[in-house]
Amino acid sequence: MARGILGTTRVGHGGTLDPLATGLLALLVGETTRATERLHTAPKVYDALVRFGSETATDDREGEPTRSAAPPAEPSSIEAGLAPLRGAIWQVPPAYAAVKVGGRPAYARARSGETVKLAAREVQVHRLEMTEWNPPDARLFIVCGSGTYVRSIARDLGRALGSAAHLAALRRLAIGALDIADAVGIEALRSAGHADAVSRLRAMDDETLVLPRRYLDEAADKLVGAGGRA
């Protein structure tokens, strides 16, 4: 649709979202499509809803339950589970992930019935806070680096608390300097037409990759409220 509105075939994206997710999707146009991998390195911000009680095959609500356990009894215990998930951590991607195993995406192997075991890799979680507790759901504010799976954070948080958990909802609020407050919905883009779409284009430079300090400094509940709900 963007290709048609902009009148060009050179339109790419700066990182897709899982089917259940909403929020910011960066489109790259023209020569900027060459910078796709560069944009992938920018830090990202998420508003996530983690549901305790069951772990699933996909680590989100779309998968079949694989294990059940009682949710945490007190919200204070969740902080203890979040602590080891901050900073530079080793994280195992979900079995249903785009990571390639022997040249094929892990999700393709998992869907064909293979047992997929992925190696842990180091990722950066710059900020991880609970903004709301409404049993059995915990709402999390997450600022993370490239390659971090929020589904894995949900899964690992459940395990750390002696419970079971999966990702129930996810909304991406920012990619580097690109903010959901400046985004436009698909239907609004379609109805506004060519001139409006062109006016929204911005040059990509080093500053595009820099996350605004407010995402690291301001109160998490305020930041989540400004970007809508997961």
Q: List C-alpha distances in Å: 76 to 83, 128, 154, 207, 212.
A: 12, 15, 17, 38, 29
Of the residues 18, 47, 156, 179, only one is catalytic, namely: 18
Q: Is 156 a known active-site residue?
A: no
Element holding 101 (H helix, E strand)? strand 100-101
- Neighbouring residues of 80: CB distance < 8 A, sequence distance ≥ 6: 160, 161
* Distance between CA atoms of residues 74 and 138, nearest Å: 11
**CA dihedral defined by 154, 46, 196, 188, rounded to 10 degrees?**
50
228: left (phi over 0), alpha (psi -120 to 50) or beta: left
Whether the link from the prior residue into 136 is cis, omega within 30° of 0, is yes
- Neighbouring residues of 98: CB distance < 8 A, sequence distance ≥ 6: 105, 106, 107
**Residue 185: what residue type?**
G
Q: Catalytic residue positions?
A: 18
